[in-house]
Amino acid sequence: MALLNHAHQSHIDSYYVASAGTVPDYPKLDGSQDCDVCVVGGGLAGISAALNLAERGLKVILLEGSRLAHAASGRNGGQVINGYACDMDTISNALGEAAAKVMWDMSLEAIHIIEDRVTRHSIDCDWTRGHVVAAVTTRKYRELVDWQADAERRFGYKDYTLWDKTTLRSHLDSPRYAGGLYDALGGHIHPLKYALGLARAAKAAGVRIFEQTPVNRIEQEPSPRAYTSNGVVSCQQLVLAANVFIDELVPVLGKKIMPVGTYVITTEPLGEARARSLINPNFAVADNQFVLDYYRLTADHRLLFGGKVSYSGLPPANLKAAMRHDMLRVFPQLADVKIAHGWGGFVDITMNRAPHWGRLSPNVYFCQGFSGHGVAVTGLAGRLIAEAIADGGERLDLFAKLNHASFPGGKLLRTPSLVLGMAWYRLHDYF
């Protein structure tokens, strides 16, 4: 898709870029290089895989087509959420309840990975605990009640606290919700700062990082090679973490995911008192609509508000105004507040919203299909791939057992087919 060609681009104009401080430049690849493992893709998944592999003593090269965390990893809502984008029944129906329990526990491990990385590498990324799923309707609140009971009964998870409408309103000053489910383990983060901090740690561990180096062809046999315009990397193992940019490089993977647009704004600074009057304590929020709103406060006391999913790939005609309209539906008291930043980007979704990780061949690994839950589980994907390569670990195989259907319609009709299908599901938000 020419729409998604990210070669030779810089970071977009966003709040994250404006508040990240100095963003380091890494060189372009020029010539031939050899390594144990070549990682293609410099987002959170690729950087995590590279760091984990280097920590196991392997010689690693990471190739990024534009800038590190240029795409979803550096543009997202920064929400750190347990579980996966699919519900756990999708996993248990496919693999059984025992496997679902193991995979649920690994999703919690993903959050602990963030805590560990932030602490161990002194990453200044505004990591803050606390997350709420808010219900717009009474029916949606009953779903949260059922899920809390399910999570404790099936998985032994006890970090959830149900908040009825009155309790939620005492913490979240919005008239929109019928109640919510507070999670003490989840939280929120400045994703670009976090990604760049992981990259610094990876470099310190010995990873050779190259930016503005798009891979235009790979060979899998007899040993992998990644070809770029100005060089080639020969390796023993190859990791593909290109997500929405994989289509041209490996079409067999590209047809399993669909790029979906999502959009974010930030307000001007509100001041600490006004910001805390909206959300207190400082947790992140996402509702449980099919087309959801998600938001949080930033370290400098702005409201960061996201949503407005586009399955066609086309952004709203007036992004800031459209997103401001949705924000005022949640916080009408912000009618006097100006919007400082507005941006968008693509996430890669799978048909069933479950993550798509595994092996393309015995020495080529991939991870994609994070479906909007990537801030946390990208770190898990990187760890599991490194385990499989360095230690023969089997945890990755559990994810590889999930069956992933291709999107219908082929490359040209994939997007229109999805638009029609998602319109039907969106109707459920209104009933």
DSSP annotation of 114:
H
pLDDT mean over 218-222: 92
327, 330, 336, 341: CA torsion to nearest 10:
-20
Predicted confidence at residue 306, as pLDDT, reads: 97
CA 35 vs. chain centroid, Å, equals: 28
Predicted confidence at residue 247, as pLDDT, reads: 87
Bridge partners (DSSP) listed for residue 37: 60, 237
Task: Establish if 240 belongs to a structural domain.
Answer: yes
Task: Establish if 335 belongs to a structural domain.
Answer: no
pLDDT mean over 191-206: 98
Bridge partners (DSSP) listed for residue 85: none
pLDDT in tens, 118-143: 999 999 999 999 999 999 999 999 99
Predicted confidence at residue 412, as pLDDT, reads: 52
Banded model confidence at residue 426, pLDDT cuts 50, 70, 90: very low
Task: Establish if 366 belongs to a structural domain.
Answer: yes
User: Beta strand 339-349 with 258-267: parallel, antiparallel or unpaired?
Assistant: antiparallel
Both structure tokens of 317: 């005609």
| Residues contacting 260, CB < 8 A, separation 6+ | 309, 310, 311, 313, 346, 347, 348, 349
Bridge partners (DSSP) listed for residue 162: 181
Q: Which domain holds residue 15?
A: 2-75+192-257+352-408
Q: Give the three-state DSSP class for 294.
A: strand
Q: Between 88-95 and 97-120, two packed helices, what is the crossing angle to 10 degrees?
A: 130
| Dist CA 88 CA 244 (whole Å) | 24
pLDDT in tens, 92-124: 999 999 999 999 999 999 999 999 999 999 999
Number of structural domains, the chain?
1
Task: Establish if 64 belongs to a structural domain.
Answer: yes
Closest C-alpha to 23, from 84, 74, 79:
74
Task: Establish if 246 belongs to a structural domain.
Answer: yes
From first CA to last CA, the distance across the chain in angstroms is 36
Banded model confidence at residue 222, pLDDT cuts 50, 70, 90: confident
Task: Establish if 145 belongs to a structural domain.
Answer: no
Task: Establish if 286 belongs to a structural domain.
Answer: no
Cβ neighbours around 428 below 10 Å, total: 11
Task: Establish if 20 belongs to a structural domain.
Answer: yes
In this predicted structure, the answer to whether residue 288 has a pLDDT above a threshold of 80 is yes
Return the percentage of the chain with pLDDT > 70, whole number. 92
Banded model confidence at residue 5, pLDDT cuts 50, 70, 90: very low
pLDDT in tens, 16-61: 999 999 999 999 999 999 999 999 999 999 999 999 999 999 999 9
Question: Residue 8: left if φ>0, alpha if ψ -120 to 50, beta else—which one?
Answer: left
Banded model confidence at residue 9, pLDDT cuts 50, 70, 90: low
Predicted confidence at residue 248, as pLDDT, reads: 86
Banded model confidence at residue 8, pLDDT cuts 50, 70, 90: very low
| Dist CA 337 CA 331 (whole Å) | 11
Predicted confidence at residue 311, as pLDDT, reads: 73
Predicted confidence at residue 291, as pLDDT, reads: 85
Cα-atom radius of gyration of the chain, to the nearest Å?
21
- Mean pLDDT over all residues of the chain? 92
Banded model confidence at residue 414, pLDDT cuts 50, 70, 90: low
CATH of the domain at 361: 3.50.50.60
State the amino acid at position 156 in one-letter form: G
For residue 13, what is the enclosing H or E element? none
pLDDT in tens, 260-286: 899 999 999 999 999 999 999 999 999
